[in-house]
């Protein structure tokens, strides 16, 4: 006899406003406990010293995590000048100091070179694996870690505030971008020392600050047995994936894992939507379509010529 799963069958997303010093893993555990959910996961680690948007998936929403991992992200951050640290943030050991300070004009003149498709070397204090070990574990052991540069895309980078000692920025970027590396490279280009002192993630795809909820507010809702009010639909993570409404018979066919033959007009519309998505810079999952039944996501499918093949069923 199959073992009964612990927890409730709750499906959806929490747009969690992660507080300072909480790890992403701890945040997932806390949300899962509050909702008594069977499954939980997050879509993109946020450092303990960062605050802001950490999308947390519950139940069947965990099947959509890979799609949200590809989403654009927006950050606000502050760089304090005068000291460089080995982690490029306030947690690290000071490795260099300087009295040199940049001007506002110098900073603004530097920013355009960081916009577009650029190569970035991740910080040694990162979760990237080197020979099976996390780079940050090796760095903390004093092992010199050399990470290879990789392509990232920055859509926008603006200077929001400036005084002699600090500068605050907003960054809109694609996946795999390290804010600490952006700050490091800005300082190198300016010929000054500096490190990140505040970092906040403002958005991940469709998950934005205006829709976020704090731990205190969640705990208050749980106390009133109203916590489901904070739950966003599973489809929230799929806002860039084209959708196709299906009939009851078609839904039954997809649930059985069988392909669905499409009409020429359906194929034409889906191909146009997929091309538009690709043109917008979403290179991953180029043939993915969501099958929608009765207003809910039934399955994530692949468009194969004139047929729709179910690749991931959602049991909602």
Q: What is the CATH number of the domain that holds 114?
A: 3.30.2350.10
Q: pLDDT tens across 226-275, in order?
A: 999 999 999 999 988 999 999 999 999 999 999 999 988 888 888 888 88
Q: Are residues 232 and 251 in the same domain?
A: no
Domain count of the fold of the chain:
3
Q: What is the dihedral of CA 7, 234, 15, 44, to 10 degrees?
A: 90
Instruction: Note whether 166 and 80 are within 8 A (CB).
Output: yes
Of the three residues 199, 218, 253, the one that is the final residue of a domain is: 199
Cβ contacts of residue 225 below 8 Å, gap of 6+?
Answer: none
d(CA 218, CA 165): 37
- Looking at per-residue pLDDT, the higher value among 316 and 64 belongs to 64
Three-class SS of residue 170? strand
Rounded distance between C-alpha atoms, residue 279 and residue 299, angstroms: 24
Q: Distance between CA 238 and CA 208 in Å, rounded? A: 14
Is 178 found in the same domain as 63?
Answer: no
pLDDT at 210 over 60: yes
Residue 300, judged by CB atoms within 10 A of its CB (0-12, 13-18, 19+), counts as buried
Alpha helices in 167-282 (DSSP H): 179-190, 215-223, 248-255, 264-279
- For 286-314, the DSSP string reads TTEEEEEETTEEEEEEEEETTEEEEEEE-
- Do both 78 and 195 map to the same domain? yes
- The answer to the question of residue 50 being in a domain is yes
The pLDDT > 70 percentage for the chain reads 90
Residue with tokens 């005084």: 163
Segments forming the whole domain that contains residue 109 = 74-199
* Residue-level pLDDT at 127: 64
Q: What is the largest CA-CA distance in the chain?
A: 72
DSSP state of 49: T
Judge if 293 and 214 occupy the same domain.
no
192, 82: one domain: yes
Tokens of 71: 């989403």
* pLDDT, tens digit (0-9, with 9 covering 90-100), for 167-205: 999 999 999 999 999 999 999 999 999 999 999 999 999
Please state, rounded to an integer, the average pLDDT across all residues of the chain: 90
Which residues, in sequence order, are bridge partners of residue 251?
none
Mean pLDDT, range 89-98, rounded to an integer? 92
Q: What is the pLDDT of residues 190-200, one digit of tens each?
A: 999 999 999 99
Burial class (CB in 10 A: 0-12, 13-18, 19+), 159: middle
β-strand 194-204 against 51-58: which pairing, if any? parallel
Q: How many CB atoms lie within 10 A of CB 316?
A: 17
Q: Give me 111's structure tokens.
A: 């920013």
- Residue 32 within a domain: yes
What's the token pair of residue 17? 């406003």
Is 3 a member of any domain?
Answer: no
pLDDT band at 218 (very low <50, low <70, confident <90, very high): very high
Q: Phi, psi at residue 243, to the nearest 5°? A: -115, 150
pLDDT band at 4 (very low <50, low <70, confident <90, very high): very low
CB atoms within 10 A of CB 58: 27
CATH number for the domain including 262?
3.10.450.720
Domain identity same for 34 and 55? yes
Per-residue pLDDT of 26-54, as tens digits, reads 999 999 999 999 999 999 889 888 999 99
- Separation between Cα atoms, residue 237 and residue 14, nearest integer Å: 11
**248 burial class (0-12, 13-18, 19+ CB within 10 angstroms)?**
exposed
117-159 confidence digits (pLDDT tens): 999 988 876 666 666 666 666 666 666 677 778 899 999 999 9
228 and 278 both lie in a single domain: no
Q: Is residue 253 part of a domain?
A: yes
Length, in residues, of the chain:
316
Chain centre distance of CA 3: 33
d(CA 111, CA 160): 12
Enzyme catalytic residues: 47
């Amino acid at each position: 006899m199959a073992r009964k799963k612990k927890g409730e069958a709750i499906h959806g997303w929490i747009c969690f406003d992660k507080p300072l010093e909480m790890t992403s893993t701890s945040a997932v555990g806390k949300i899962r406990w509050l909702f008594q959910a069977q499954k939980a996961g997050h879509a993109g680690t946020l450092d303990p010293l960062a605050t802001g948007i950490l999308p947390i998936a519950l139940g069947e929403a965990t099947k959509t995590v890979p799609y949200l991992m590809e989403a654009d992200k927006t950050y606000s951050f502050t760089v304090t000048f005068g000291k460089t640290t080995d982690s490029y943030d306030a947690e690290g050991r000071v490795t260099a100091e300087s009295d040199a300070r940049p001007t506002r004009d110098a900073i603004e003149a530097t920013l355009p070179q960081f916009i577009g498709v650029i190569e970035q070397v991740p910080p040694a204090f990162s979760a990237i694996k080197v020979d099976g070990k996390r780079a940050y574990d090796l760095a903390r052991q004093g092992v010199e870690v050399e990470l290879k540069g990789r392509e990232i895309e920055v859509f926008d980078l603006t200077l929001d505030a400036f005084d002699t000692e600090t500068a605050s920025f907003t960054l809109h970027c694609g996946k795999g971008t390290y804010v600490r590396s952006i700050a490091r490279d800005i300082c190198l280009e300016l010929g000054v020392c500096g490190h990140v002192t505040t970092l906040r993630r403002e958005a991940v795809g469709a998950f934005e600050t205006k829709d976020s909820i704090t731990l205190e507010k969640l705990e208050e809702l749980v106390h009133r047995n109203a916590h489901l009010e904070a739950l966003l639909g599973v489809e929230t993570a799929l806002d860039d994936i084209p959708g196709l409404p299906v009939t009851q018979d078609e839904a039954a066919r997809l649930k059985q894992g069988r392909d669905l033959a499409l009409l020429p007009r359906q194929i034409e519309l889906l191909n146009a939507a997929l091309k538009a998505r690709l043109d917008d810079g979403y290179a991953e999952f180029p043939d993915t379509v969501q099958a929608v039944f009765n207003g809910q996501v039934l399955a994530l499918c692949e468009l194969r010529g004139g047929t729709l093949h179910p690749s991931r069923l959602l049991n909602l």
